[in-house]
Structure 1
């Protein structure tokens, strides 16, 4: 075996020296597992290297030769298998990882992904698919960070920009003020495409700030005029809330009309499923009288469980709403007629302030309305489904007076802007 220096074994082979050290692990048969490195021409240098490895093992910073040789593809499989996120987040992570990160690093080990390889990936994404650049770089950073300290000692991810030309990392989407008249024009187009449920859907998003998946997944037992009397009350831990809801919300006396956000519709494992709302933002949304009347009228017109059914009664979440409906609602579309058109439709006028814009901006517009009207920050953020950090989030609560004030200002916006015929079905 050669000389032994404090648990480091040295042996010469030809003109070079090899050092061996115990990795701290055992084989299946109980024998110690050793690691080694050869090619040294100086015995003291080899001993020093072995002692450094023993130091790393004692202090938990050692990366074994076997772990260091792990392929990126194998580590990506293990990393994806450990994910525990919301359905849409996990699906997005998997898609970007498998489409962009895995092919780029297919032939590399984790230890070979150094800062140069990391920069090369960033440059590749920026050149070939800039729209996915930010998400891809973020996910690669998580993959490499989680490889420390088992597979690599330090992550090659650069946390600060050191060299190169300045590039603004985030450009805010340009928005215009969302006027009630703009919402009405969008709602009228939606009514032509989807019927009265389309009209009410647009106004509900504008007046509640609900996320699209929450709207698609809203069922009648969580909606005015049935909720809270119709609440399934499935969680025994929420018994006090169920009792308070019946005293505070409803359609009788001084109770406040409201919608309960308990879930959203998303696709998981190839099928439509209910999931908790984003960030587990369960919340109650008071609604102004005009929207309460619309919802009551809508639910009297159909007997589907969905509040906003598709034209054939199914869930709007089953469709690609942005492409199948919203693009025509916001950008307009030509008249649809002819012998092969099963459902003729008149031309839809474009809504200039929303042309090329996402439906989600109605939610942003709702937040702006609440801010303009001077409502409590805690009440506004709670309504949007956001956590308020710090002491403010710990000690504040949404009172009946706050909710009634929100109802009042939203109703006033409608009353000031509404024209004859607003809110009534076209027939």
Structure 2
């Protein structure tokens, strides 16, 4: 195999190196070459050069200078290039700084191979739970896929999951069906801490499926009875008034924001996944929210004790855990605000507040509502043709209102009997 005008081999000491023309020129007009050394025979070296020429001709070549880009530099470039929601960006940065950058800080983008990825994956899975480890691998996979698109390497070193081999069923979180009696006790417990603001928040989450940050960010102008007349968007205000009735015949909440901390400041942001939506509410909840808003002057529908957004306090720790797990009585001569003992609600003891959102979907599924109406209420989009052709109608919304109201009426009937049963335990209704 002989040298060619664009590839040639030269010996240096006991090894040889191959040089090939990249198809580019220096500023002075001379051809730009790249090389690789360490070969022990000319044929192998020349074949490598010919392979590089093939890649250059077919647009799949990665130059030495591109491939040598430090991984730390590429991670910074990648973070600056992506366009995602604030919380997603914060999450990605955290995963990169805590796991990806420390492991690959001395590597270039091109030298990361499959074996190195396996070592990285093994380490991550040894220190993190399954879901957290999956998130780290997901971000690393996106970083490597984009490195391929940026022509910094030929292919991603990430091994995709294969369907071959023994099937392992994913372990799902254990949860019980959401009983309205349990929601009632959770609301009563939370009210002992926060007053009507706390109990109304619990009922609103159970009856709408709103995410916690959306509830914390719900403002007066987007809540019944002010909405839709108070909506600042004229077009949306007029369309909503026509659909939900100028007389509020279908009371509803408009999800326009969530609150999250940005640079240590509580900030209004779009809802997760840009899931703007209108949620009709049953009559009992409409009355409850009207009384709540009449009782305070805060711009937030569910103000904290200090008057600001509930997002400014650690709601899970301060209020949800005692409401779900139960708490001892808080009284005595030095206690400014006495509180009775709070009974635990077994189906939610040790569980997440977010399960109230899951429970709302369970209720709508049990009541036989259309999939499009249920998923839209959760802030989800149906995939494929079903999502394109489907549409939520006013009749669908009214039926959801009616079934939710029926659940509330059933709870009141059980109260009339003198006691309600929650997770096989009897609690007096008072």
Question: Normalising by the residue count of structure 1, what TM-score does the alignment of the two structures yield?
Answer: 0.90
Residues 1:220 and 2:238 aligned together: no
Q: Which residue of 2 aligns with 1:71?
A: 70
Provide structure 2 residue ranges, at least 5 long, that are not aligned to the other structure. 420-428
SS in 1 for 2:36: strand
1:68, 1:109 within 8 Å by CA — same for their partners in 2?
A: yes
5 Å matches for 1:24-423?
24-27=23-26, 31-130=30-129, 132-148=132-148, 150-161=151-162, 168=168, 170-233=170-233, 239=235, 241-250=236-245, 252=247, 255-337=249-331, 343-418=337-412, 419=415
Whole-Å Cα distance in 2 between the matches of residues 140 and 406 of structure 1? 42
Change in Cα spacing, 1:106 to 1:376, as seen in structure 2 (3 Å) is same
Query: What are the Cα deviations for residues 234-290 of structure 1, in whole angstroms up to 9, with x where unaligned?
Result: 7xxxx2x4322112225727x211111111112223222122111211111111100
SS in 2 for 1:353: coil
Provide structure 1 residue ranges, at least 5 long, that are not aligned to the other structure. none
Change in Cα spacing, 1:82 to 1:340, as seen in structure 2 (3 Å) is farther
Q: Which residue of 1 aligns with 2:425?
A: none
SS in 2 for 1:266: strand
SS in 1 for 2:110: helix
SS in 2 for 1:21: strand
CA positional deviation for 1:340? 6.6
Aligned residues: 414
CA positional deviation for 1:194? 1.1
Query: What are the Cα deviations for residues 388-408 of structure 1, in whole angstroms up to 9, with x where unaligned?
Result: 223332222222211111111
SS in 2 for 1:124: helix
Whole-Å Cα distance in 1 between the matches of residues 388 and 238 of structure 2? 23
Change in Cα spacing, 1:24 to 1:213, as seen in structure 2 (3 Å) is farther
CA positional deviation for 1:64? 1.5
SS in 2 for 1:18: strand
CA positional deviation for 1:140? 1.5
1:228, 1:250 within 8 Å by CA — same for their partners in 2?
A: no
User: Relative to structure 2, which stretch is displaced further, 355-364 or 114-123?
Assistant: 114-123
Query: What are the Cα deviations for residues 297-339 of structure 1, in whole angstroms up to 9, with x where unaligned?
Result: 0000000000001111011112222222211111122233467
Change in Cα spacing, 1:342 to 1:29, as seen in structure 2 (3 Å) is farther
CA positional deviation for 1:46? 2.7
Query: What are the Cα deviations for residues 53-91 of structure 1, in whole angstroms up to 9, with x where unaligned?
Result: 121122221122222222222221222222211111111
1:257, 1:286 within 8 Å by CA — same for their partners in 2?
A: yes
Change in Cα spacing, 1:339 to 1:128, as seen in structure 2 (3 Å) is farther
SS in 1 for 2:177: coil
SS in 2 for 1:205: helix
Q: Which residue of 1 aligns with 2:426?
A: none
Change in Cα spacing, 1:27 to 1:349, as seen in structure 2 (3 Å) is farther
User: Relative to structure 2, which stretch is displaced further, 20-29 or 280-289?
Assistant: 20-29
Whole-Å Cα distance in 2 between the matches of residues 38 and 287 of structure 1? 72
Change in Cα spacing, 1:415 to 1:105, as seen in structure 2 (3 Å) is same
RMSD: 2.5
Whole-Å Cα distance in 2 between the matches of residues 137 and 28 of structure 1? 42
Change in Cα spacing, 1:157 to 1:309, as seen in structure 2 (3 Å) is same
Whole-Å Cα distance in 2 between the matches of residues 129 and 209 of structure 1? 29
CA positional deviation for 1:189? 0.9
Change in Cα spacing, 1:334 to 1:316, as seen in structure 2 (3 Å) is same
1:225, 1:250 within 8 Å by CA — same for their partners in 2?
A: no
Change in Cα spacing, 1:302 to 1:30, as seen in structure 2 (3 Å) is farther
